[in-house]
Chain A
Amino acid sequence: MKKKNKTELWLAFVAIALIYVVVAVLEQTVDSNHIIFTVLKKGAIYSLVAVSMNLLNGFTGLFSLGQAGFMLIGAYTYSIFTMPTAVKVTESVYKYYEAAIKFDTGIFVGLVCAGLAAALFAALIGLPVLRLKSDYLAIATIGFAEIIRAIFQWDVLGPITNGANVMRNYLDLTDVKIPFTDIPFPPTLYVFLASGVCIGLIVLLINSSYGRAFKAIRDDEIAAEAMGINLLKHKEMSFVISSFFAGVSGALLAMYQYTVQAAQFKSAMTYEILLIVVIGGIGSVSGSCIASFLYIAASEWWLRGLDMGKFLGIEAPNLFRSGFRRFVFSIIIMAIVLFFSKGLMGDREISFAGLARRLSRRTKPVKAAKGGGIDG
């Protein structure tokens, strides 16, 4: 059994390495304006936030809908920290305010600070909020996300957050350099590396004794408490860690977008991430990753024709007009929610043993073994 797990782990590593090689090769060979890079970058960012949401909703059983708020904190912290001081003192970004923060940091520090800021806020609100259960927790976290959005748009804080105006000219993906040189780092690979490392950390956490405690809380709170698990401590921990990674993904999103504005992080964004988690399967890391790439690819690329008047060779400009894509998309999502409530993966992970068994004996339904997830 142990040996089997080991091969499984090696296979997973090889698969992940292969993904990185493919991304690196693609980036060197395909024209960088191709839509596939949008899909890959955004997909990787959404994978991270979806996995972080899954850590809460799927593994700890806390139905929290505050993800957009934590992403906002991350995005803003990152943009404030990495915006060069030279830009801050001029009027190009802070037009109506005098910038209050007079220093700037590098990208890595910015990313970590983005996560820390989100985690700090989560720690503060966790104490009152995590005593609530299921739908009350959901509505309270939505509430906090909205409050965060209002605070960041408040003009009194303008010297820090630039009020309701756009933040830009901070360090973005094109500013990433290979360490100790001036050669630009391939942007897609960078996003993959950053979110891959974060997802890897989350997977390690899930497979640790803390992760097992989270799952115990999800399955039965009373039983978990009887087993000596400190409920509030573990819930708070899961909440803070999930928010940390949501913050990092917010920062990555800011890097990818070049501009960031608080108005973007509405509760609709949280719902979108929740739907990704549901499509992938609540409680499956690899499912969340696959679902985010599928979701982004479908909405940005494959179904694009539905908005442009031509889809699968059929031309119907009156039917296929702007907005039809999202309409079709939401119908598909509803179908998944109603008829495939387990999503793509249920609560299992991709495993090569299971995959191989399934391929060799398709007649007998086999239970895929756990462990060794692929991350994106």
Chain B
Amino acid sequence: MLDFLHANLSYILSGISVGGQYALIAIGYTMVYGILRLINFAHGDVFMCAGLMMVYLSTVLPVTVAIPLVLVMTVMLGFLIERAAYKPLRTAPRMSVMISAIGISYLLQNAALYFTGGLAKVYPAIPWLSQTVTIWGSTTKMVTVVTPILTIVLVVLLTLLIKYTKVGMAMRAVSKDFETSRLMGIRINTVISVTFVIGSFLAAVGSMLYFTNYASVTPVSGSMPGLKCFVAAVFGGIGSIPGAVIGAFIIGIAENVIKGGTSIFGFGGSGWTTFSDAFTFALLIIILVVKPTGLFGEKATDKA
């Protein structure tokens, strides 16, 4: 065990960091699913757009101005997507809303493709985050250390918001029963908008941390993290925020260990890298078959 830890320390460290970034995105999925029962396929692309906004804004503005501006603009984007693509379909079957989400994802990717010309854009170095530090003999960027801490702080804040504020209470009510909460006088549309605003905000924060690590943004760089974060949300039990965070950390760490692993189960070769993505989905299928409600999910009848 210790040997394994020692050999894989740098992978585990970066896994924790990636896990934190996934957690921030996964919260967006889990909250939207909890309320609308919708897999927001566009969420990963909102995350990508936040990355691109940062790339473009930082060329004209100092980073200290660009960061809050990116946060605001991403929140606006999330809000607009909800109003334009999901609100008109509120009474439509779930399949149509999901198709609309896929359409928005396609639109955002193609828009990004057009504006970037299909080239990978270099993500600007955020001064303090991209410094290198040495922990227990392995060197990483500052962002690796900051991410888990920031994630936990944000998650605690979010949990407090959901537990103790009026809007948080409304969110819990809507996710329990959409129709009844509407009858009780809760403004459904406001609650849903707030959900999207929070989700997009966290995705924007996540994108800053994620792309500082990966250094370049392409039009499709949101789709794979997006799917993985959804898996993380399902793994932890969809609708549950701590579940999503724990799921994201597990996926982040496992993925990085697989990427770094030279030989697993006696099979050698560099081929395991291709499985770092597939592993996530294997995990998804196992959890769906064995325990469809996820680790911390509530009991529900309409899932499996």
With an 8 Å Cβ cutoff, the count of chain B residues facing the other chain is 52
Q: Across the interface, which residues of A come within 8 angstroms of B104, CB to CB? A: 334
**Closest chain B residue to A322, Cβ basis:** B117
Shortest CB-to-CB span from B269 to chain A, Å, is 5
Give the tally of cross-chain contacts (CB within 8 A): 140
Complex Cα gap A153–B273 (Å):
10
Tally A residues with Cβ within 8 Å of B: 49
- Cα distance, A153 to B275, chains bound together (Å): 9
Q: Which residue of B39, B220, B269, B277 contacts A135 across the interface (Cβ within 8 Å)?
A: B39
Chain A residues lying within 8 Å of B37, measured Cβ to Cβ, are 135
**Contact A143/B303 with A136-B292, A326-B113 known, Cβ cut-off 8 Å:** no
Q: Are A327 and B110 in contact (CB under 8 A)?
A: yes
Indicate with 1 or 0, residue by residue over B80-109, a CB within 8 angstroms of chain A CB atoms.
Answer: 000011001100101110111011111101
Q: A136-B288, A136-B292, A147-B281 are in contact. Are A334 and B92 (CB under 8 A)?
A: no
Q: Is B35 an interface residue (CB 8 A)?
A: no
For residue A173, CB closer than 8 A to chain B, the reply is no
B94 and A132 contacting across the interface, CB-CB below 8 Å: no
At the interface with chain B, which of A10-18, A78-86, A270-278? Answer: A270-278
Contacts of A272 in B (CB 8 A): 106
Q: Does A95 contact B (CB under 8 A)?
A: no
CB–CB A144/B107 < 8 A:
no
Instruction: Determine the distance from Cα of A268 to Cα of B269 in the docked complex, in whole angstroms.
Output: 28
CB of A140 within 8 A of CB of B284, answer: yes
- Does A156 interact with chain B (Cβ within 8 Å)? yes
Residues of A contacting B102 with CB < 8 Å?
271, 274-275
Q: Are A151 and B107 in contact (CB under 8 A)?
A: no
B108 nearest CB neighbor, chain A only: A330
Is the pair B118, A128 in contact by a Cβ cutoff of 8 Å?
Answer: no
Q: Mark A338-354, 1 if CB is under 8 A from B, else 0.
A: 10010000000000000
Other than the given A128-B289, A139-B284, A156-B271, 15 more pairs (CB < 8 A) read A132-B292, A133-B304, A136-B288, A143-B231, A143-B280, A143-B282, A146-B281, A147-B278, A147-B282, A150-B275, A321-B117, A323-B117, A327-B113, A330-B110, A334-B85
List A residues at the B interface (Cβ < 8 Å).
Answer: 57, 63, 128-129, 131-136, 138-140, 142-144, 146-147, 149-151, 153-156, 163-164, 267-268, 271-272, 274-275, 278, 282, 321-324, 326-327, 329-331, 333-334, 337-338, 341
Which residues of B line the A interface, CB within 8 A? 37-39, 84-85, 88-89, 92, 94-96, 98-100, 102-107, 109-111, 113-114, 117-118, 220, 223, 227, 230-231, 234, 267, 269-271, 274-275, 277-278, 280-282, 284-285, 288-289, 292, 302-304
* 7 A-B pairs (CB sep. < 8 Å): A139-B284, A146-B281, A147-B278, A155-B269, A322-B117, A333-B103, A338-B100
